[in-house]
Amino acid sequence: MVGGAVRNALLGEPVHEVDIATTLAPEATMRSAQAAGLKAHPTGIDHGTVTIVSGNNAFEVTTLRHDVETHGRHATVAFTDDWQADAARRDFTMNALYASLDGEIFDPLGGIGDALCRNVRFAGDAETRIREDFLRVLRFFRFHAQYGDGALDEAGLAACTRLKDGLNKLSRERVGQEMKKLLLAKGAAQAAGLMNGAGVSQVLFGRDLDDAVLERLAAIDAANALSPDYPLRLAGCLAMSADELGESLRLSNAEVRAIAGLRDAMPPSPALRDNERKVVLYQTGAETFTRAARLAWAHSNAPAGDAAWLGLMKLLEEWPLPALPVTGSDLIAAGLEPGPELGATLRRLEDWWVAGGFVATREELLAKVSA
């Protein structure tokens, strides 16, 4: 095993995927997997990676290699049986840890110490390694957000600060993937502050990240056992429109829609009266209401465990969103012509039903139409 699985096992953090390193050449990896009755897919065979599937688990198995020449994501690689060389092409010492089947750890770069001290340190000379692939600037802050503690490694930070303009050369897909992990990490706010200080946020987004809002969102999540939410954190820390964010980070349509909903939503507040809350919830929709409440809470001065804000968020549990008791077909059955008129009538009925506190029945609504 190599990389994240070994690092996380050492740190007592959950392991999401197990990557494997091998001295076998890629074709031999495929053959030996198949001989063992496992499916093998040549997913990245040119750079040595074969994906082996066992049950519901996929494992990336990569032949030991060293990068002969790197040009961003794509490297000209040479396969090797030298574990040290394989370690040296990896980004950080804590990511260059290997464990054998019986649990013996091979640590050619001193990554165990760095992992346990929660110190993200470049494998080799930071500047050289960044010039090979500028994504490593962002990964430096991302791994610090996830696994770091305390101050950033000084040499690493200085190199990232000097070379930050190289981030412009990266594809926005790669930036987006790293930003997602960074913003969802427990140290997101601290990392964002460090990125602002290094000028990295300016290069990436033309502005600083709002690390104070990230800090508040994280505190609220922690106090109330809420899972961090990517669209929420993005919308909170970057004053950009949903479309700009979508473009900048190659977000999914669902993520762009979530941010757009949040930008348009009327912010819920515990200062609203009971029926006003219901109106806001009904008009915003459940998912956006929860996000909007979390964001408004973060912008308020209320403590992270505040009962009034928590009560506002709990509205959804106490009051499942009602559905308008009449439909278009009901109106047609009542003699209305299909068309824009009918839509307008339906909306009028809905407004009346909402303003009246969602209590009017189907019969009362239909009676209003014929009246």
Q: Which of 98, 107, 134, 136 binds ligand ATP (CB under 6 A)?
A: 136
Which residue, judged by CB position, is nearest to Mg ion in the bound state? 4
Confirm if 304 and 222 have CB atoms less than 8 A apart.
Answer: yes
- Minimum Å gap between C-beta 94 and ligand ATP is 8
For ligand ATP, which is the closer residue by CB, 9 or 310?
A: 9
> Cα 52 from chain centroid?
26
For ligand ATP, which is the closer residue by CB, 16 or 273?
A: 16
- Look at residue 91 and give the partner it binds from ligand ATP, Mg ion, none, a contact being a CB closer than 5 to 8 Å depending on partner kind: ligand ATP
For ligand ATP, which is the closer residue by CB, 19 or 364?
A: 19
Map residues 173-202 to x or -, x wherever contact with ligand ATP holds by CB under 6 A: --------x---------------------
Interface ranges with Mg ion (CB under 5 A): 4
- Look at residue 135 and give the partner it binds from Mg ion, ligand ATP, none, a contact being a CB closer than 5 to 8 Å depending on partner kind: ligand ATP
Tokens found for residue 12: 């007592």
**Residue of 312, 267, 298 lying closest to 188 (CA atoms):** 298
- Look at residue 365 and give the partner it binds from Mg ion, ligand ATP, none, a contact being a CB closer than 5 to 8 Å depending on partner kind: none
List, as one string, the DSSP characters of 321-339.
PP--S--HHHHHHTTPPSS
**Residue of 347, 285, 354, 295 lying closest to 320 (CA atoms):** 285
Q: Count of CB atoms within 10 A of residue 116's CB? A: 11
- Minimum Å gap between C-beta 7 and ligand ATP is 6
Report angle CA 153, 156, 161 to the nearest 5 degrees. 120
Query: Does position 114 bind ligand ATP by CB under 6 A?
Result: no
Helix, strand, coil percentages (3-state) for the chain, rounded to 5, are 55, 10, 30
Query: Does position 4 bind ligand ATP by CB under 6 A?
Result: yes
Tokens found for residue 120: 């993200």
| DSSP three-state, residue 143 | helix
Phi, psi angle pair for 25, to nearest 5°: -70, 155
Query: Does position 16 bind ligand ATP by CB under 6 A?
Result: yes
Tokens found for residue 339: 């068309």
For ligand ATP, which is the closer residue by CB, 22 or 95?
A: 95
Q: Which of 22, 95, 201, 269 binds ligand ATP (CB under 6 A)?
A: 95
| DSSP three-state, residue 162 | helix
State which of positions 116-135 bind ligand ATP (CB under 6 A).
133, 135
Map residues 34-73 to x or -, x wherever contact with ligand ATP holds by CB under 6 A: ----------------------------------------
CA 190, 194, 197, 199 dihedral sign is negative
Q: How far apart are CA 362 and CA 366, in angstroms?
A: 6
**Residue of 265, 311, 314 lying closest to 285 (CA atoms):** 265
State which of positions 244-283 bind ligand ATP (CB under 6 A).
none
Confirm if 50 and 38 have CB atoms less than 8 A apart.
Answer: no
For Mg ion, which is the closer residue by CB, 4 or 270?
A: 4
- Minimum Å gap between C-beta 95 and ligand ATP is 3
Given the DSSP bridges, would you call strands 19-22 and 57-63 parallel, antiparallel or unpaired? parallel
Query: Does position 111 bind ligand ATP by CB under 6 A?
Result: no
For Mg ion, which is the closer residue by CB, 8 or 288?
A: 8
- Look at residue 174 and give the partner it binds from ligand ATP, Mg ion, none, a contact being a CB closer than 5 to 8 Å depending on partner kind: none
- Look at residue 164 and give the partner it binds from Mg ion, ligand ATP, none, a contact being a CB closer than 5 to 8 Å depending on partner kind: none
Query: Does position 3 bind ligand ATP by CB under 6 A?
Result: yes
Query: Does position 91 bind ligand ATP by CB under 6 A?
Result: yes
On the CB side of 267, CA atoms within 13 Å amount to 13
Q: Which of 65, 90, 164, 277 binds ligand ATP (CB under 6 A)?
A: 90
Size, binding site for ligand ATP by CB under 6 A: 12
> Among all chains, which residue has been given the structure tokens 């494997």?
20
Label residue 154 exposed, middle or buried (CB < 10 Å: 0-12, 13-18, 19+).
exposed
Contact set with ligand ATP (CB under 6 A): 3-4, 16, 19, 90-91, 95-96, 133, 135-136, 181
